[in-house]
Chain A
C-alpha cells in the first residue's frame, strides 16, 4: 500500500529521493528548540477554532436589539457583532469553549513567539546565514500582535472599543499624513461603521494568509540550512546531531502538538477570558476602568501612561504626545529588531557562518543588552497596570507612575551592569556553570589561579 503510494508520486514528481532524505533528516532535539513549535501549534489551533468562529460571527456595526439567551442584556441596543459573539457564547453548543480556546491560543501564541525570539537572540542563532529567517520572524511577531488586537476588537465591546479609539488617535498623531492614515484605515471619522468589517477581513483572511506564507518560508529555510546546535557534547560546525525526523522526531513533535492543544483547551474550559457580556456593548461616549489591552500590547500602553505631557508645537503644526511613546517607540523597537543581526555583525566584525550557538558567557555584551532591553519592555508592560498596582498597594496612582518612570531607566541600567559583570566573571573563571563559580571571580581584577581556563 505504501509502496504503491510512493510509486504513484515518484512517477509523477521524481519525489522518492527527496522524501527519503526528508525522512532521514536529523533534528537536534534540545528542549529550547521546541519553543518555535509551540508557537506554530498555537497558530494551528487558532486556525481551527477561528474557522469555526467565522461561521457564526457577524462583523457588522448595525445596531440591533438583543433577544438572545443572556438574560441581563435582553432588550439592550447592541451592534450585530456583539450580538453574534453573545450568541456564540451562550447559544451555540461548544461555542464558548471554541471562543475561549481561540483567545487563550492567541495569548499563548505570542508568548511563545517572544520566548522563541529570546532563545534565538541569546543563543546567537540569528547570525549568518540565518539573518533572513530572523527578519521573517520579527515580521511574524508584528503580524501576530496586530492580528491579536484586531481579533479582540471584533466583538465590539466596551473594553476593546476603547482600544480602537486609542488606535485611531495614535494613527492620527503621525505628522503630515496621520489624519489621512487614520481616516483611510477606519473608513472615516471615528467611530466609523466600517471598522469592524475591515478588521474582520484583515483578521480572518489577509493576516492569516501572510502568516501561513511566512511560516512556510521560515520552516523551509530552517530545513534548508539545518537547525543550529548548542556547543559541547561533541557538536561541531559541520555536523548536526539528533534523532531522525521519521519516526522519532515526527512522533514527538506530533505529541507536542497534542500537548499544546490540550493545554489550550484546559485554559479554554476552566478559565474565563474576555467576558464581553459583563463589559457591555461599545458606545463611543462610555468607558470602563480599569482599561488595559491584552498583554502583548501592554508595553505600548505602559509607554502611553508613563510619557510626560510633552508635545512639539511650532509654526501652527504639532506632533501630538501619543506619537512619541506609541509610534516612535514601536517603530524604533521593530527597526532595532530587524537590524540587529547586521548591527552586531558590523560591530563585532564577525561575518562568518555560524551553526554552533554561542554560550551566554561568550557574548556578555549582547546578553547584557538583551536582558536590559527585556527588562525595559517588562517595566513598560507592568506600567500598563499602574492603576491596579496603585489599588493593590494602596498608594496614589501618581506616585506609582513616577516610580515606574524612574524604573524604566534605572532597571535596565542595573540589569545590564549586573548581567555583564556576572557573565564576564563566569567566562574568566572558567567554571562550567554559575553554581561552581568562585565568589572571587566577581571582582574586577580576578584572574584564575593555576593553568589557563578552558575555552
Chain B
C-alpha cells in the first residue's frame, strides 16, 4: 500500500510542478507586469492592434491566432469580430490564467474603445470570417413590447423573465465545479451592443441566433427591452431581488408571520404568568365587573 502511494505520488508531484511552471511562467504578459501604454496615435491602427495582441493574447491564443493547448484557434468560423469585441467589451478577456472560466469583469486588462477596436481590426486581418460587430439602433421602431415578446420567447428561459440569470444543467466540460458557466449571468449589466453581440455570437455556452431568426430590428428591440430590465417598473415596492415566490415566501414568513406572532405574544399570556392587574386609575371598571361575576 505504501509503495503504491509513493508510486502515485511521484508523478503527481511532477504534474503539479509542471502545471505550476506553466501557469506561473512570466510570459509576454504577466499580472505582475504593469500594462504598457500603447504606441502614439500617429501609428496606423493595425500596428497598435498587433502590439496589444502579441502582448496580451498571443501567449494563449498563439502568435497568429492559431491556438495553443491553452486556448482555442481564433481563426475558425464562427468566430469573428463580434466575438472578439464582446469578450473585450465585457471584460471577460484576457484571463488571468488559461484555465480560468470567462466571467464578466474578471479580465486583467480593461481596454479603451480605441485599443479594443485596434485589436478587433488586427484579428480581422488574421481571421476574416464570422459575424461582424452588429449595428444596433438606439430606439426600437415600435415601442418596447416587440422586444419584450422576443425576450420572453428566446431569452427568458435561461436569463429569467426579470433578467437575473439562472442555473444551467451541470458543469460543462472544461469548466471547474461551481464555475460561472454552470450558471447563466444576469443581463442587467449589459449594454445594447453587448446584447446584440451576445445574440449573434452565443458566448460561452449560450446558443446564437442568426439574422434569419432574429433580424436587426428584432435585435434592437431585444436590446432595448434588456435596457429596460436594468430598472424595471416596481410600483409594488421592494422587489426582493426579482427572484419570485422564493423570496416572497421568506418575507411572508419572516416579516408577516413573525410580526403577527410577536403581536400574539403581546396580547396573550404565557404559562405561569399572572394576568396584569388593572391599573389604579381604573378601579371603577374593575369593581363593576367583579361585582357581576
Enumerate B146-162 residues with CB–CB distance to A below 8 Å: 146, 148-149, 152-153, 156-158, 160-162
Decide: A272 and B145 in contact? CB cutoff 8 A. Answer: no
Q: In the complex, are the beta carbons of A30 and B249 less than 8 A apart?
A: no
Q: Report the bound CA distance from A76 to B144 in whole Å.
A: 9
Selected from B171, B243, B255, B270, the residue in CB contact (under 8 A) with A388 is B243
- Complex contacts, A35 vs chain B, CB 8 Å: 261, 264
Q: Is the CB of A295 within 8 A of B249?
A: yes
Q: B residues within 8 A CB of A295?
A: 245-246, 248-249, 252-253
CB of A365 within 8 A of chain B? no
Q: Are A107 and B170 in contact (CB under 8 A)?
A: no
Cα A400 to Cα B234 in complex, Å, equals 32
Q: Using Cβ atoms and an 8 Å threshold, which residues of chain B touch A390?
A: 167, 182-183
Which residues from B are CB-within-8-Å of A263?
A: 256, 259-260, 263
Report B-chain residues with C-beta under 8 Å of the C-beta of A233: 271-272
Q: Is the CB of A31 within 8 A of B148?
A: no
Is A385 among interface residues, defined by CB-CB distance under 8 A?
yes
Is A398 within 8 A of B170, CB to CB?
Answer: yes
Q: Interface SS of chain A: helix, strand, loop or mixed?
A: helix
Q: Which of A152-192 contact B (CB under 8 A)?
A: 158-159
Check A259 against B263 for contact (C-beta < 8 Å): yes
Q: A267-B251, A292-B246 are in contact. Are A115 and B261 (CB under 8 A)?
A: yes
Contact A256 B263 (CB under 8 A): yes
Q: Are A100 and B169 in contact (CB under 8 A)?
A: no
Question: Are the C-beta atoms of A290 and B243 separated by less than 8 Å?
Answer: yes
User: Does A287 contact B157, Cβ atoms closer than 8 Å?
Assistant: yes
Residue among A73, A252, A292, A398 making CB contact with B145, cutoff 8 Å: A73
In the complex, chain A residues whose CB is within 8 Å of the CB of B146: 75
Interface: B269 (CB within 8 A): yes
Closest-CB distance, A148 to chain B (whole angstroms): 11
Q: Contacts A76-B148, A89-B235, A295-B245 known; A104 to B252 CB distance under 8 Å? A: yes
B257 within 8 A of A: yes
- Any A CB within 8 A of the CB of B35: no
- For the complex, what is the distance from the CA of A256 to the CA of B248, rounded to whole Å? 23
Report the minimal beta-carbon distance from A282 to chain B, rounded to whole angstroms.
Answer: 10
Indicate if B122 sits at the interface (CB-CB under 8 A).
no
- Could you mark each residue 258-284 of chain A with 1 if its beta carbon is under 8 Å from any beta carbon of chain B, else 0? 011001100101111111011111010
Interface mask (B60-86 → A, CB under 8 Å = 1, otherwise 0): 000000000000000000000000000
- Which range contains the number of B residues in contact with the other chain? 35 or more
A96 surroundings in chain B (CB, below 8 A) = 235-236
CA distance A298 to B238 in the complex (A): 23
- Cα–Cα distance between A388 and B160 once the two chains are bound (Å): 12
Instruction: Specify which chain A residues have a CB less than 8 angstroms from the CB of B4 in the assembled complex.
Output: none
A266, B199: Cα distance in complex, Å: 42
Q: With the chains together, A396 CA to B242 CA distance in Å? A: 22
B142 at the interface (CB under 8 A from A): yes
Q: Which of chain B's residues have a CB closer than 8 A to the CB of A352?
A: none
Determine how close the nearest CB of chain A comes to the CB of B257; give it in whole angstroms: 5
Q: Within A103-126, which residues are at the interface with B (CB < 8 Å)?
A: 104, 107-108, 111-112, 115
Residue B239, interface by CB 8 Å: yes
Neighbouring B residues of A269 by C-beta, 8 Å: 237
Cα distance, A104 to B246, chains bound together (Å): 13
Contact of B244 among A71, A277, A287, A290 (CB under 8 A): A290
Q: Which residues on the A side are within 8 Å of B235 (C-beta)?
A: 89-90, 96, 272
Choice from A107, A278, A397 contacting B248 with Cβ under 8 Å = A107
CB within 8 Å for A232 and B272 given contacts A72-B144, A100-B236, A391-B183: yes
Residue contact B253 to A274, C-beta cutoff 8 Å: no
Q: Indicate if the CB atoms of A267 and B156 lie closer than 8 Å.
A: no
Pairwise interchain contact A288-B161, C-beta atoms closer than 8 A: yes
Residues of B within 8 A of A387 (CB): 166-167
Q: Which residues of B contact A397 (CB under 8 A)?
A: 167-170, 182
Contact of A286 among B152, B183, B265 (CB under 8 A): B152
Contacts A75-B143, A90-B235, A267-B251 given; indicate if A272 touches B264 (C-beta within 8 A): no
A455 within 8 A of B: no
The verdict on A243 contacting B275 (CB below 8 Å), with A267-B255, A290-B166 known, is yes
The answer to whether A292 and B245 touch across the interface, beta carbons within 8 angstroms, is: yes
Contact A280/B166 with A74-B143, A159-B244 known, Cβ cut-off 8 Å: no
Q: Is the CB of A30 within 8 A of B253?
A: no
Stretch at the interface among B21-29, B127-135, B225-233: B225-233
Complex Cα spacing A293 to B244, Å:
9
Chain B residue contacts of A286, Cβ below 8 A: 152-153, 156-157
Assess whether A287 is in contact with B156, with CB atoms less than 8 Å apart.
Answer: yes
B240 at interface by CB-CB < 8 Å: yes
Q: Are A288 and B152 in contact (CB under 8 A)?
A: yes
Please measure, in the bound complex, the distance between the C-alpha atom of A287 and the C-alpha atom of B153, giving whole angstroms: 8
Question: Is A34 an interface residue, CB under 8 A from the partner?
Answer: yes
A70 near B: Cβ within 8 Å?
A: yes
**Docked pose: A295 CA to B239 CA in angstroms:** 17
A-B contact pairs, 29 of them (CB 8 A): A29-B267, A30-B271, A34-B267, A71-B144, A74-B143, A77-B149, A96-B236, A107-B256, A108-B256, A159-B244, A230-B271, A243-B275, A259-B260, A267-B251, A269-B237, A270-B238, A272-B237, A279-B244, A283-B153, A285-B153, A287-B156, A290-B244, A290-B246, A293-B245, A387-B167, A388-B167, A390-B167, A391-B167, A399-B177
Given contacts A275-B234, A286-B157, 19 further A-B contacts (CB under 8 A): A34-B268, A76-B149, A100-B236, A112-B257, A232-B271, A233-B271, A267-B256, A271-B237, A272-B236, A274-B248, A275-B233, A278-B162, A279-B244, A280-B156, A288-B161, A289-B166, A290-B167, A384-B246, A395-B178
10 closest A-B pairs by CB = A31-B268, A295-B249, A272-B236, A107-B252, A394-B178, A387-B167, A72-B144, A280-B152, A75-B145, A76-B145
